[in-house]
Amino acid sequence: MNILRKIWCRTYQGAFHIAQPLLPYKDPVVKQSINDIPEILRENNITNVIFVTDQGLVKAGLAKRIEDVLSGAGINFTTYADTVPNPTIENVEAVRKLYLEKGAQGFISLGGGSAMDCAKGAAARIARPKKQIPQMRGILKVHKKLPTIIAIPTTAGTGSEATVTTVITDSKKNYKYPISDFCLIPPYAIHDYSLTTGLPQKMTSTTGMDALTHAVEAYIGGSLNKTSSANAEIATQLIHKYLYRAYTNGNDAEARQNMLEASFRAGLAFSMSYVGYIHAVAHSLGGKYGTPHGLANSVLMPIILREYGECVYKKLARLARKSGVVTSFESDEKTAKLFIDWIQEMNDKMGIPRTLNDIREEDIPEMAAYADAEANPTYPVPRLMDKKELEKLYRLGMVGNAQSHPEPVEGQSKGRKRA
């Protein structure tokens, strides 16, 4: 990146970092059971809601559990169950239309990030009837109180129930982008582990690694503060302790509940301190090919962390020590490399591939341009990269790239002491 653009990016990020303590973050109220829904609605004088979910949740019988609670409490509701993974502008507009037609007063969203983001996008459109979704792309473009949202995650996850962000895909342009504003933080979240016990192994692994990516990208960025670093450390600690347990035994209640907490904490961390190039690249892949978000992040995380090299050693080492992932006394460089090895090892043992089949060389320049537009100047990444430099990250993630299969660092398999 040229020096003038670097100065612009760092000045922009510095201004937001200085303003951080003044910004209106508000954590959602978290309840533990879907049976708490009627009381929340009563407290907010809401008697008519749009229930946003997807077909997977309908098939899994989870949507019916919410509908039963609503019917039992005499709440009027209309279900929208057509949200697609990487939710589209069409999804958002369909939900908005239903909301207006039915004279609804709030939203309940059940699902992974896709259903939760769809409801957040629709709520933003209700608050801002004259602004189309593309006009809200980026940060602080919504800026108006939204109708009440109760967000209920069934993956752990995106942390969307806690974040300032909704990520929407323009399916005509194959372009996926975040919209971030404080009003997008849902006022209520429900962490009911029983909704996650049936999550398939493949989704448990990749969505859990998405949560780790949130913690890691927030931590290595330049806008970390006391609150976000504590949240990222706790999230990483919980993922270290519980993700593999949840993966091997989906019915492990303690592991599932703690993964919801990890996902939530990681969401809070990146809401304050941003994500980085791993996410910007993953979003462009989701928009172009429909690559599942968690899968893209899981594969890219070790690759891009290695590519960052020296500039992330200090922070990664600190995160590794604070979270208990590395307990032996080593240099920052060695500790950071052991941390990246742990990520790779987790991916490997949960059957996550080391490269992404989807990526095509001819698409890379366009996707890199999208990633550049998303990340620069907003994300306070450890090392700035322009479009050309970002192209390399896609190539590193392509099938057949030898650099994606590095030799383990010295002592990786033997003699390493980890908790």
* Residues in touch with Fe ion (CB under 5 A): 210
Helix (H) or strand (E) holding 15: helix 3-19
Nearest to residue 313, comparing CAs of 274, 341, 292, 339? 339
Query: Pick from ligand NAD, Fe ion, none: which does 106 bind, CB < 5 to 8 A by kind?
Result: none
CB atoms within 10 A of CB 410: 10
- First-to-last alpha carbon distance for the chain, in angstroms, is 39
Q: Does a cis peptide bond (omega within 30 degrees of 0) precede residue 377?
A: yes
Cβ contact 94:151 at 8 Å: no
Q: Residue 29: what are its φ and ψ, rounded to 5°?
A: -80, 125
The Cα 321–Cα 275 span in angstroms is 21
Binding-residue pattern over the window 102 to 141 for ligand NAD, x denoting contact by CB under 6 A: ---------xxxxx-x------------------------
220 is written with which tokens? 């290595």
By C-alpha distance, which of 158, 134, 164 is closest to 146? 164
- Residue 166, interface with ligand NAD (CB under 6 A)? yes
Instruction: In angstroms, give the least distance from the CB of 177 to ligand NAD.
Output: 10
What does 112 interact with, of Fe ion, ligand NAD, none (CB < 5 to 8 A by kind)? Answer: ligand NAD
Which residue lies nearer to ligand NAD by CB, 147 or 294? 294
The torsion defined by the Cα of 359, 364, 370 and 375, in degrees rounded to 10, comes to 80
- Nearer CB in complex with ligand NAD: 107/313: 107
Rounded to 5 degrees, φ, ψ at 416 are -80, 135
Q: Report the site for ligand NAD in 320-359 (rule: CB under 6 A).
A: none
**Least distance to ligand NAD from the beta carbon of 256, Å?**
10
| E strand residue ranges, 92-163 | 106-111, 138-139, 148-153
Identify what 397 binds: Fe ion, ligand NAD, none; CB under 5 to 8 Å per kind: none
CB of residue 279 vs ligand NAD: minimum separation in angstroms? 8
Q: List binders of ligand NAD among 365-394 (CB under 6 A).
A: none
154 binds, among Fe ion, ligand NAD, none (CB under 5 to 8 A by kind): ligand NAD
Q: Enumerate residues 66-105 that contact ligand NAD by CB under 6 A.
A: 85-86
Q: Is residue 204 a contact residue for ligand NAD (CB under 6 A)? A: no
Binding residues for ligand NAD (CB under 6 A): 54, 56-57, 60, 85-86, 111-115, 117, 154-155, 157-160, 163, 165-167, 195-196, 198-199, 203, 207, 210, 267, 286, 293-294
